[in-house]
Amino acid sequence: MLGRFHLYVSQRGEVSKAQEYTMRILALIAALIAGGVFLLLLGFNPFEIYATMLKGALSTAGMRQETVKLMIPLCLTSLGVTLAFKMRFWNVGAEGQICAGAIAASYFAYFHNHLPQEILLSVMAIAAIIAGGLWGMLPAYFKTRFGTNETLFTLMLNYIIGFFITYLREGPWRDPEGGFAATPRFLKQARLPLVNFPGVGNVHIGCIVMFVVLIWTFFYLKYTKQGYELTVVGENINTARYAGMPVQRIILRTMFLSAGICGLVGMLQVAGPDRQLTDAVANGRGFTAVSIAWLSRLSPIGIAMVSFLFSVMEKGCSMMQTDFRIPASMSEILQGIILFCVLGGEFFINFRIGRIRREA
């Protein structure tokens, strides 16, 4: 930018789908190379490491089972936030909505566990969806009514509900028999049944829920009136008004669904792998989901792929810790690098750089 040349940025008019995907693939390759260089600097052979990662996540049924368990909440939460993002509503509150669902589900697991398993689990799921949904509608209401900034609001709500879990865990819901301040374990009837998948082994039923929601989201966005409406609102709120759409109602409804799915994740976590209500029920997944949804361009199929990739990375990196003494946080570094590269690559899809000769 110095000297006689002046870089000049202008918006690109049209880009073909092929160009767009080429650009993204280039960005991914760049990310792999950047990660490789990082590993190289640490004195490792990047090819070996990448291979180990893949092996560590996928080579045995047990590993695949762990990877799938990581993928379930990640994929579902990403699907949830996608509904809101498609409407250009910045829901960074998935974290809190997961907590809300977990609390509601745990309430029934602790206090109404006389019910038979099928009924109890159904009630827990419905309660979780409603609790998560309402928690997410709160910022949506203020947004439509007063224009309150939803990014900051949803962010704040995460902490409030997070501390509420701590309160429950330390106070009213504390297991009187435990030495630590922890909630009791769920009874058998409040735990998700396991399903055997060939090649993977026993995974809790949340896996099926994931596939159902994945397909549901795909159809909802593509083939229903409501999905159509929220897409129009997201693309152009003025056009939505011109077409006579009830914009406020659409925003509230969509946020209920978006947050409801996240709430369901909370139920699946407490009744699945966690078996109790813990502070770490969301564990940053609400934020990772934002990245996944964005990386997948809000496509449900893409979300399935990216959340699988992220789970492989997470599982694979935990493997490297034992094999190579490379800390598992390598997974977060790789995630970061991939996202940075794709974020940067996006620029070259939307803009072009020209040079102008500077005479002065």
Q: In the complex, what is the shortest distance from the CB of residue 354 to other proteins, in angstroms, rounded to a whole number?
A: 9
Does position 175 bind other proteins by CB under 8 A?
Answer: no
**Of residues 25, 178, 224, 323, which one binds other proteins by CB under 8 A?**
224
Give the DSSP H or E segment for 174.
none
CA distance to 10, 16, 255, 298, per residue, from 349 (Å): 11, 10, 30, 17
Does position 347 bind other proteins by CB under 8 A?
Answer: yes
Does position 326 bind other proteins by CB under 8 A?
Answer: yes
Contact status, residue 84 vs residue 289, Cβ threshold 8 Å: no
Q: In the complex, what is the shortest distance from the CB of residue 207 to other proteins, in angstroms, rounded to a whole number?
A: 25
Kindly tell me which of 207 and 342 has the beta carbon lying closer to other proteins.
342
Q: In the complex, what is the shortest distance from the CB of residue 359 to other proteins, in angstroms, rounded to a whole number?
A: 5
Q: Which residue from 61, 50, 43 is spatially nearest to 331, judged by alpha carbons? A: 50
Does position 344 bind other proteins by CB under 8 A?
Answer: yes
> Locate tokens 């900051």: which residue?
152
- Taking contact as CB under 8 A, which single stretch among the options 20-28, 73-81, 194-202, 339-347 is the one that binds other proteins? 339-347
Total of residues contacting other proteins (CB under 8 A): 78
- Taking contact as CB under 8 A, which single stretch among the options 72-80, 121-129, 187-195, 282-290 is the one that binds other proteins? 282-290
Kindly tell me which of 11 and 196 has the beta carbon lying closer to other proteins.
11
Does position 290 bind other proteins by CB under 8 A?
Answer: yes
Contact status, residue 269 vs residue 94, Cβ threshold 8 Å: no
Q: Which two tokens stand for residue 196?
A: 């055997």
Kindly tell me which of 176 and 198 has the beta carbon lying closer to other proteins.
176
Contact status, residue 137 vs residue 263, Cβ threshold 8 Å: no
Q: In the complex, what is the shortest distance from the CB of residue 76 to other proteins, in angstroms, rounded to a whole number?
A: 18
Q: Which two tokens stand for residue 203?
A: 């995974």
Q: Which two tokens stand for residue 242?
A: 């011109």
**Of residues 159, 215, 249, 323, which one binds other proteins by CB under 8 A?**
159
The pair phi, psi for residue 170, each rounded to 5°, is: -85, -25
Kindly tell me which of 150 and 274 has the beta carbon lying closer to other proteins.
150
Kindly tell me which of 53 and 271 has the beta carbon lying closer to other proteins.
53
Q: Which residue from 85, 81, 75, 112 is spatially nearest to 96, judged by alpha carbons? A: 81
Q: In the complex, what is the shortest distance from the CB of residue 29 to other proteins, in angstroms, rounded to a whole number?
A: 18
* Sites for other proteins among residues 28-67 (CB under 8 A): 42
Does position 9 bind other proteins by CB under 8 A?
Answer: yes
Q: Which residue from 82, 138, 111, 140 is spatially nearest to 262, judged by alpha carbons? A: 82
Give the Cα separation of 43 and 292 in Å (integer). 30
Give the Cα separation of 58 and 198 in Å (integer). 14
Kindly tell me which of 35 and 206 has the beta carbon lying closer to other proteins.
35
Radius of gyration of the chain (CA): 23
